[in-house]
Structure 1
């Protein structure tokens, strides 16, 4: 089963991963603010992750790891 992990330390909340996810399981977490002042992305349904890694490829800060 695939899963996606977002490292809050590196995520700047740009939303590119949210836009590119084909199954729409990523969103910006408006309830969390990182030490740098950003709303990081997070996975809202880990069971639906297909492991395509589009989010990781799109991330400009390499904050996303996809496990297949």
Structure 2
């Protein structure tokens, strides 16, 4: 069953809240182990929950 747009927006909101709070464990809890994230501006493709969390841990502030 597909999540409703409200449920999906709640998950996205929680994802951003956890990223801003530097809650890496909480961020990981929202992602599938085999998540794939594409950043079209830079052409990067991040595969896997652990790699995505690591990128967010290492990404410079600014």
User: Is the structural similarity TM-score above 0.5?
Assistant: no
Higher relative contact order (CA 8 A, sep 6+): 1
Structure with more helix by fraction = 2
Hey, which of these two has a bigger chunk of strand by percent?
Answer: 1
Instruction: Give me the TM-score of the superposition, normalised by structure 2.
Output: 0.30
TM-score (norm. length: structure 1): 0.28
